[in-house]
Structure 1
Amino acid sequence: MEYRRLGSSGPVVSRVAFGNSLTAGNQLDDRTATACVRAALDAGITTFDTADAYSGGRAEELLGQALAGVDRDSVVICTKVGRGGGKPGPGALSAARIAESLDGSLRRLGTGHIDLYQAHLYDDATPLEETMRAFADAVAAGKVRHVGVSEWAADEIGRAAVLARELGVPLVSNQPQYSMLWRVIEAEVVPACERLGIGQMVWSPLAGGVLTGKYRPGVRPPAGSRAVAAQGGETSIKRYDFLSDEVLTAVGRVAALADEAGLPLPQLALAWVLSHAQVATAVIGASAPEQIARNTAAVTRTLDAELLRRIDAALGPVVVQDPALTLSRMLRARAAGPVPTPSPAPLREAAL
């Protein structure tokens, strides 16, 4: 495993982090969920990501139980606020909601502090000043060490960063979706974060499992896969049209490149994400403990410029880059009316 500082002033994180958004308390039984955390520790992973929204808080609880007895200073525990507590809707990032949710997260995780507390989507109904002051209060109280955001647009991140700096609690991270297939952060979010000293802690580097090769064009998703077995998994994957025959055919072309390079496709996909300088860590999940060691081997893989060029050529027609599809913007647009299906754009040189 390798390690890197998250942003210019955040915690030191493992290049691969472990997340449990659709596994713990959902797709997996408790024993397997715990075994996956233990396998992550064995693989050198020190960074664990969850949220109050995942499985109604059960994911936080299981992570806390799995980490019980582990030296607290040896791990970086990250969680999020803004979509959980069974109270969706306006005010998700109000001071009152943050205070209530934070105490609940600390209790479920069985810890005295959160290493990285992230605002889960932008909240139009709450003044940004209120949200950032609530974060600053949490840091002052010793309940939170660092703060970040998840799936915010570039302009939202910029405004928050100014307020956070004024309050003495700089934003250190953004957690967006990012993979070979989904590159909407490249045009705006990454350049803005680079100027502000904010690192990327990306989720879904394997595109919900699509970049493992388990899904085939014209074939029903296999039993037990995320697309059918995890509550919310099918919605998440279909939201981005990752199961279309066009996408899966393009993924097949990349799988052939992986074979040629002597790499399993998941390792190639993860190594591709980690090859971008602004990505400090990539969050992976697992449905079985043995997947973790196999995938984290990607940390030591270096992809040469020619292979990167051939990957772009193989995927070109299906890669999505439109910055309007950052999740906070997408959900805001959906609330205002019908949202068009994400459309791919011609590949350009990555801004990462």
Structure 2
Amino acid sequence: MEFRYLGNSGFKISEITYGNWLTHGSQVENDTATACVRAALDAGITTFDTADVYANTAAETVLGEALKGERRQSLEIFTKVFGPTGPKGHNDVGLSRKHIMESVDGSLERLQTDYIDLYQAHRFDYFTPLEETMQAFADLVRQGKVLYVGVSEWTADQLRAGSALAKELGFQLISNQPQYSALWRVIEEEVVPTSKELGISQIVWSPIAQGVLTGKYKPGAELPAGSRATDEKGGANMIKRFMNDDVLTRVQNLQPVADELGLSLAQLAVAWVLQNDNVAAAIIGASRPEQVAENVAASGVVIPPELLGRIDEALGDIVERDPAKTHESSPKERQA
């Protein structure tokens, strides 16, 4: 396992990070989830990402239990705040001071820890003054409940405004967590250049495009039983944008590149996002322990420029690059 600095800080994280969105507390049983976490630790992963909204707080509980007994100083535990949790009342959502301060205590209890290494604003809140949000984060840092602060799916302008306020308040934003894969490159035009300027790294989610880049979905074929594309709890909705024969055919055309590198298609996809020098880590998930070991093999892989060019040629114009997609990711209406 290789490690990278997160943003303009002295904080290092494993470049393969284990995340439990859509799995822990939902898709897989707790004992399987624990086995996946143990597999991650065995593979050298030290960084774990979750959120209070995942499975309505259950994912945090499962992760906290799975990590119990590990040396806390050897782990980097990330979580997020924004989404509706609990009974989903009128103050159970967003980035108000009230919701942040109440949410962090709940996360600390569920994760069975005294502090959170990286606390992230899960989306941008259009209904709370940014000054209020950043002041709450600054207070959590001073209280020692949070060591570092990051965000998720913020636009370039939002990153710039948040970073400026953070500096005024005596801390810094060091990370952004966007969706990023060879099929979904919407951060490249605006978010990445701005982040480099501000000293912010990307911790990217869905590097294998919810499983599409594994090549297991074949054009014109039946969906594999038990796959994310058949999961009506949320997985099928997330993956549907990629589930057409043109995309699936192009993905199959990546196989010769993977073969040349001695990688599976999944490993190629994870290695691809790590070629971007603004990416500090790729988040992987797993429903089986063996999936962890496979994806970890992408750590340290260098893809030569010629093969990166062949990947671009194979995927062609099916790649989504519109930077406006980041703006669309944050809700413009209250969820509760």
- In the TM superposition, residue 88 of structure 1 has moved relative to its aligned partner by 7.6
Q: Do residues 187 (structure 1) and 189 (structure 2) align?
A: yes
**63-72 vs 245-254, greater mean Cα deviation:** 245-254
Question: Contact 2:208 / 2:270 at 8 angstroms: preserved in 1?
Answer: yes
**259-268 vs 273-282, greater mean Cα deviation:** 259-268
Listed as ranges, the matches of 1:171-210 within 5 Å are 171-210=173-212
- Structure 2 distance, partners of 1:35, 1:168, is 40
Question: Contact 2:124 / 2:330 at 8 angstroms: preserved in 1?
Answer: no
Indicate the residue corresponding to 2:40 in structure 1. 40
Question: Contact 2:19 / 2:283 at 8 angstroms: preserved in 1?
Answer: yes
Provide the aligned C-alpha RMSD in A.
1.6
Q: Cα gap change, 1:299/1:12 in structure 2, threshold over 3 Å: closer, same or farther?
A: same
Q: Do residues 272 (structure 1) and 268 (structure 2) align?
A: no
- Structure 2 distance, partners of 1:88, 1:187, is 37
Listed as ranges, the matches of 1:51-200 within 5 Å are 51-86=51-86, 87=88, 92-200=94-202
Q: Secondary structure at the match of 2:254?
A: helix
Indicate the residue corresponding to 2:251 in structure 1. 251
Indicate the residue corresponding to 2:305 in structure 1. 305
- Structure 2 distance, partners of 1:290, 1:234, is 23
Which one-letter code corresponds to 2:243 in the other structure?
Answer: L
Question: Contact 1:50 / 1:59 at 8 angstroms: preserved in 2?
Answer: yes
Indicate the residue corresponding to 2:220 in structure 1. 218
Question: Contact 1:153 / 1:329 at 8 angstroms: preserved in 2?
Answer: no
1:248-307: CA deviation from partner (whole Å, max 9, x where unpaired) = 111011123212432111111111111110001110001110111111111132111110
Indicate the residue corresponding to 1:329 in structure 2. 328
Indicate the residue corresponding to 1:350 in structure 2. none
- Structure 2 distance, partners of 1:131, 1:69, is 33
**137-146 vs 257-266, greater mean Cα deviation:** 257-266
Question: Contact 2:125 / 2:330 at 8 angstroms: preserved in 1?
Answer: no
- In the TM superposition, residue 45 of structure 1 has moved relative to its aligned partner by 0.3
Q: Cα gap change, 1:136/1:331 in structure 2, threshold over 3 Å: closer, same or farther?
A: closer
| TM-score calculated relative to the size of structure 1 | 0.91
1:294-345: CA deviation from partner (whole Å, max 9, x where unpaired) = 111111321111100000000012100000001x434557x6xxxxxxxxxx
Ranges in structure 2 where 5+ consecutive residues have no aligned partner? none
**79-88 vs 10-19, greater mean Cα deviation:** 79-88
Which one-letter code corresponds to 1:329 in the other structure?
Answer: E
- Structure 1 distance, partners of 2:274, 2:148, is 22
Question: Contact 1:48 / 1:78 at 8 angstroms: preserved in 2?
Answer: yes
| TM-score calculated relative to the size of structure 2 | 0.95
Q: Secondary structure at the match of 1:300?
A: coil
Q: Secondary structure at the match of 1:118?
A: strand
Ranges in structure 1 where 5+ consecutive residues have no aligned partner? 336-352
1:168-214: CA deviation from partner (whole Å, max 9, x where unpaired) = 11001000000000000000000000000001101000000111111
- Structure 2 distance, partners of 1:189, 1:316, is 22
Which one-letter code corresponds to 2:309 in the other structure?
Answer: R
Instruction: Provide the aligned length of Structure 1 versus Structure 2.
Output: 332
- Structure 1 distance, partners of 2:324, 2:136, is 28
**152-161 vs 1-10, greater mean Cα deviation:** 1-10
Indicate the residue corresponding to 1:344 in structure 2. none
**161-170 vs 80-89, greater mean Cα deviation:** 80-89
- Structure 2 distance, partners of 1:276, 1:81, is 27
Q: Do residues 283 (structure 1) and 258 (structure 2) align?
A: no
- Structure 1 distance, partners of 2:223, 2:84, is 29
- Structure 2 distance, partners of 1:277, 1:53, is 30
Question: Contact 2:153 / 2:330 at 8 angstroms: preserved in 1?
Answer: no
Of 231, 234, 237, 2:233 maps to 231
Which one-letter code corresponds to 1:226 in the other structure?
Answer: R
**70-79 vs 256-265, greater mean Cα deviation:** 256-265
Which one-letter code corresponds to 1:110 in the other structure?
Answer: Q
- Structure 2 distance, partners of 1:146, 1:306, is 37
Q: Cα gap change, 1:9/1:331 in structure 2, threshold over 3 Å: closer, same or farther?
A: closer
- Structure 2 distance, partners of 1:332, 1:147, is 21
- Structure 2 distance, partners of 1:148, 1:84, is 19
